[in-house]
């Protein structure tokens, strides 16, 4: 039955009922708790995270100095209770199946923590410079990247070999929600980094914006022409696939589908292709860029942001790339600060995300006025731009600017601000990254590509042949010569 | 922009369906659907011939699968002005 209660018409629609807004609330809740360190209270230091280990008993550390006496197992239980409570609250507000969500999230959390911990085994994670420390003669030197790849592998095994179990977990496997929350936490990291290297962060932001703009102007028309001329796809398919492959994946597919009023099946098929094809990039790009661009880390990060679709997959690829490039630099005696390469990939993606609304609005006007004229006079409400705006960016910017503000207006408080920030932008962000990796794997079912024919082929040609080299060239033009600041 | 009427849209896999308290129409394309809405509104007895009506065509968000809805908060809404 048709119900008009499901139309999104107010500017505040969805504030309590969609994941995008809930990533803002979940993100900012922890950012605000972290700020209590300004008053000498560490309210977020209870979180634990794995550290490189050979002795299993030494593999977990509690984040805050104030909580160093806390048993790590108790710390993990508190972490579980806090995030299960908060995300279940979100599930209730979003009217999900709460029981299924609770059980699914519990399984995901336990699975994620086990993988996270195992991935930090010294034989997988330790750098060669740490061999003496652990008394080992070899290691894969993967840093935190081992956990990420393991998480993805386990998720993919579940998603493709245990489909019943994957179906059960899907109520809780929400990679977009997890990664958007993690990106709000990343805003804290960027704020802290700005305290130390404000000009560098500004340059990264501005060049990222310019690169994104250039990419839009090249990617979309090229992909559209490829779909229309080479694969003879109809206009609506070509437009939606072009947005999916050249802008930002699922969001752009849906936004464009809506803008041109395509049948719902079009963006849905495009979204399936985005999700499935992206996995190949998560696995392939980091080793390729690490092998070939070790002197241009920011170029690699930015190119990743322009190439990999969906925020979750981009952050996942950027995180692996960051770990691999930092590890490789360390092997060569250069100690880069972790997080900047990831920041480059996410910053590029955020600019892209913010532009989706404007692009969808332009397409909507073009379609209504030029391509498909109906018997009535159609108007596209400007509110469409706001509805398409990714709300988690608001959380990211608030978190970022809070810390910039502290540095600018209360520099004496910088050190105490860093205490709370350390737990939010460190272990909490990593936990949500890990949840994202497992969740991406769980929701990716390669068999969905069967029977998609020409649309799948055209998407693959655009994604693997057209986009990567152009993204790399644009990233090189705007970011070449930018190195990563050294670790303290 | 204000609309005198609000019509809810869904797609059943083959047809677009539009419905409010007075009308329920369907068509394969949206252009056809707008024609059918115009005819149905003309026949519903609430408007005079030649009167102009602005309607909000609002898509029921549930036409997208649940897993895809978090990526965009809605599909589309359009204002259409029809002369009956």
Contact at 8 Å (CB) between A143 and A326? yes
Percent of chain A at pLDDT above 90?
57
Contacting A with CB below 8 Å, chain B residues are: 1, 6, 8, 10-11, 13, 17, 19-20, 30-31, 34-35, 38, 56, 58-65, 67-83
User: Radius of gyration (Cα) for chain B, nearest Å?
Assistant: 13
State the Cα–Cα distance between residues A123 and A121, nearest whole angstrom. 6
Q: Return the sign of the alpha-carbon dihedral for residues A294, A297, A299, A300.
A: positive
Give the mutation candidate from A376, A380, A388 for the B interface (greatest B CB count, under 10 A): A376
- Residue A235: is its pLDDT beyond 80? yes
Question: Is the pLDDT at A349 greater than 90, yes or no?
Answer: no
Q: Are strands B5-11 and B16-19 parallel, antiparallel or unpaired?
A: antiparallel
Minimal Cα distance from A11: which residue of B? Answer: B73
Contacts of B41 in chain A (CB under 8 A): none
Name chain A contacts of B75, Cβ cutoff 8 Å: 254, 257-258, 264
pLDDT at A376: 64
Cβ atoms of A398 and A187 closer than 8 Å:
yes
Q: How far apart are the first and last CA of chain A?
A: 61
Residue A4 at interface with chain B, using a CB cutoff of 8 Å: yes
B77 contacts on A by Cβ (under 8 Å): 7-9, 381, 384
Average pLDDT of chain B is 87
Chain-chain contact of A374 with B74 (C-beta, under 8 angstroms): no
Specify the long-range contacts of residues B32-38, CB closer than 8 Å, at least 24 apart.
B33/B9, B34/A374, B34/A375, B34/A376, B34/B80, B34/B82, B35/A374, B35/A375, B37/B7, B37/B80, B37/B82, B38/A375, B38/A376, B38/B82, B38/B84
Asked if A458 and A294 touch (Cβ cutoff 8 Å), the reply is no
pTM for this structure? 0.83
Q: Which residues pair with A388 in a beta bridge?
A: none
- Show which of residues 100-159 on chain A sit within 8 Å of chain B, judged by CB atoms: none
Would you state the structure tokens that stand for residue A71, as one six-digit string?
A: 């048993």
Do the chains contact at B80 and A364, CB–CB below 8 Å? no
Q: Do B72 and A261 touch (CB under 8 A)?
A: no
Which of B70, B77, B82, B84 should we substitute to test contact with A (largest number of A Cβ atoms within 10 Å)?
Answer: B70
DSSP string, A334-388: --BPTTHHHHHHHHHHHHHHHHHHHHHHHHHHHIIIII---SSEEE--THHHHHH
pLDDT over 90 (residue A466): yes
> What tokens appear for A16 in the block?
């309590």
pLDDT band at A166 (very low <50, low <70, confident <90, very high): very high
ipTM of model:
0.86
Return residues 14-33 of A near B (CB < 8 Å). Answer: 14, 18-20
The pair of structure tokens assigned to A127 is: 């750098």
- Contact residues for A231 (Cβ-Cβ < 8 A; gap 6+): A454, A455, A457, A458, A461
Instruction: Please judge whether A376 and B38 are an interchain contact, meaning their C-beta atoms are less than 8 angstroms apart.
Output: yes
A415-462: per-residue pLDDT in tens?
Answer: 999 999 999 999 999 999 999 999 989 988 888 877 778 999 999 999
Weakest mean pLDDT among A97-106, A250-259, A479-488: A479-488
Q: Which residue has the higher pLDDT, A214 or A321?
A: A321
Name the pairing type of β-strands B5-11 and A377-379.
Answer: unpaired
CB contact under 8 Å between A7 and B80, yes or no, is: no
> Which residues does chain B have within 8 Å of residue A255's beta carbon, measured at their own beta carbons?
72
Burial of A448 (0-12, 13-18, 19+ CB in 10 A): middle
Size of interface A-B (CB pairs under 8 A): 125
Cβ-based neighbour number of residue A37 at 10 Å: 25
HEC string for A149-172: HHHHHHHHHHHHHCHHHHHHHCCC
Tens digits of per-residue pLDDT, A17-56? 888 899 999 999 999 999 999 999 999 999 999 999 999 9
pLDDT digits (tens, 9 = 90+) for B54-77: 998 888 888 888 778 777 777 888
pLDDT tier for residue A339 given thresholds of 50, 70 and 90: confident
* Residue A366 CA neighbour count, 13 Å, CB half: 13
Q: HEC states along A441-473?
A: HHHCCHHHHCCCHHHHHHHHHHHHHHHHHHHHH
Among B31, B34, B58, the residue with its CB nearest the CB of A7 is B58
Other CB atoms within 10 Å distance of the CB of residue B63: 20
Q: Residues 6 or more apart from A422 whose CB is under 8 A from it?
A: A63, A64
Q: Which of A1, A8, A244 to mutate to test the interface with B (most CBs of B within 10 A)?
A: A8
Considering only CB atoms, B81 lies closest to which of A9, A373, A376, namely A376
Question: Tens of pLDDT along A177-197?
Answer: 998 999 999 899 888 877 777
What is the number of residues in chain A?
Answer: 488
């Amino acid at each position: 039955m048709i119900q008009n209660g499901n139309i999104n018409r107010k500017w505040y629609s969805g504030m309590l009922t969609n994941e995008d807004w809930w990533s803002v609330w979940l993100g900012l809740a922890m950012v605000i708790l972290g700020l209590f360190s300004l008053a000498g209270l560490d309210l977020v230091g209870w979180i634990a995270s794995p550290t490189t280990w050979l002795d299993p008993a030494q593999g977990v550390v509690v984040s805050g100095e104030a909580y160093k006496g806390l048993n790590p197992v108790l710390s993990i239980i508190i972490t579980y209770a806090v995030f299960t409570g908060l995300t279940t609250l979100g599930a209730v507000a979003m009217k999900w199946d709460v029981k299924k969500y609770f059980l699914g999230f519990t399984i995901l959390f336990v699975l994620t923590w086990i993988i996270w911990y195992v991935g930090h085994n010294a034989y997988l994670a330790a750098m060669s410079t740490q061999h003496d420390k652990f008394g080992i003669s070899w290691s894969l030197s993967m840093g935190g990247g081992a956990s990420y790849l393991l998480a993805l592998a386990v998720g993919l095994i579940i998603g493709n070999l245990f489909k019943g179990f994957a179906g059960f977990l899907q109520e809780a496997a929400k990679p977009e929600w997890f990664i958007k929350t993690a990106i709000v936490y990343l805003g804290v990291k960027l704020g802290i980094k700005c305290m130390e290297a404000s000009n560098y962060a500004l340059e990264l932001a501005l060049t990222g914006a310019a690169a994104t703009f250039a990419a839009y102007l090249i990617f979309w028309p090229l992909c559209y022409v490829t779909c229309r001329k080479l694969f003879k796809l109809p206009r609506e398919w070509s437009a939606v696939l072009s947005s999916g492959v050249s802008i930002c994946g699922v969001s752009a597919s849906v936004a464009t589908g809506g803008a041109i009023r395509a049948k719902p099946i079009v963006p849905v098929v495009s979204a399936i292709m985005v999700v499935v094809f992206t996995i190949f990039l998560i696995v392939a790009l980091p080793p390729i860029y690490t092998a070939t661009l070790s002197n241009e880390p920011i170029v690699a990060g930015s190119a990743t942001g322009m190439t990999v679709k969906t925020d979750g997959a981009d952050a996942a690829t950027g995180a692996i790339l960051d770990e691999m490039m930092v590890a490789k630099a360390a092997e060569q005696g250069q100690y880069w600060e972790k997080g900047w390469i990831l920041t480059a990939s996410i910053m590029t993606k955020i600019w892209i995300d913010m532009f989706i609304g404007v692009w969808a609005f332009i397409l909507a006007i073009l379609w209504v006025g030029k391509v498909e004229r109906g018997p009535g006079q159609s108007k596209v409400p400007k509110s469409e731009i706001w509805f398409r705006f990714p709300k988690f960016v608001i959380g990211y910017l608030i978190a970022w600017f809070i810390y910039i503000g502290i540095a600018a207006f209360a520099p004496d408080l910088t050190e105490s601000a860093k205490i709370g920030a350390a737990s939010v932008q460190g272990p909490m962000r990593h936990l949500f990254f890990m949840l994202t990796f497992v969740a991406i794997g769980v929701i990716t079912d390669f068999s969905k590509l069967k029977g998609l024919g020409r649309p799948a082929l055209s998407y693959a040609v655009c994604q693997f042949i057209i986009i990567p080299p152009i993204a790399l060239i644009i990233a090189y033009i705007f970011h070449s010569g930018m190195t990563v600041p050294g670790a303290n | 922009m204000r609309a005198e009427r609000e019509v809810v849209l869904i797609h059943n896999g083959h047809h677009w369906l539009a419905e409010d308290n007075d009308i329920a129409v369907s068509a394969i394309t949206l252009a056809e659907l707008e024609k059918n809405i115009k005819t149905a509104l003309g026949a519903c007895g609430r408007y005079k011939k030649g009167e102009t009506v602005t309607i909000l065509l609002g898509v029921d968000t549930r036409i997208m699968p649940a897993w895809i809805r978090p990526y965009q908060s809605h599909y589309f809404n359009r204002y259409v002005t029809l002369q009956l």
